[in-house]
Amino acid sequence: MSGNRAVAYLGRNAEEAPATVLNSLMGITRAGGALGIPGLYVTADPGGIDEDAKSGTLKVRLGLGWAKSHRFTTGQCPVMQYHRGLMMAILHEWVHIAKAVNATVIGIEDAPRGYAEFDQGASRKYVLNPHGALDGLQPV
């Protein structure tokens, strides 16, 4: 599975179901509620499981959202709105971001393995360390 697709995991070895997350959210969101869908959700995936996934088309139950008068907010996260506060929290060690995202430092020779694991859904962020500059550093 490509690392840039948001999908629901339906159990080990299950098929992808890219629209399941949104359809499930609409099912549990109260009438008049709102769904926020930040980030890159599904744009296009040449390696997708079918033609819809390849073109970034989702089979979303828009009728359900319409019937329940849902509000949808989409778009990429407004990083610049949050970056200073997050930077200060990291610098003052109020937030331990590397631990929070399970940062794992790997050498450049391990990059193919890291990409493969990420592609399979590994719950970590890989940090490439091609010249050893991060050797011995502890995550903050």
Percent over 90 (pLDDT), the chain: 19
Query: What does the pLDDT look like over 89-115, one tens digit per residue?
Result: 888 989 888 888 888 889 899 999 998
d(CA 118, CA 65): 32
Assess whether pLDDT exceeds 80 at residue 6.
no
R_g of the chain computed on alpha carbons: 19
Percent over 70 (pLDDT), the chain: 83
For residue 41, the one-letter residue type is Y
| Nearest to 114, CA basis, from 90, 130, 99 | 130
d(CA 135, CA 126): 14
d(CA 44, CA 97): 29
Question: 128: which strand partners?
Answer: 106
For residue 57, the one-letter residue type is T
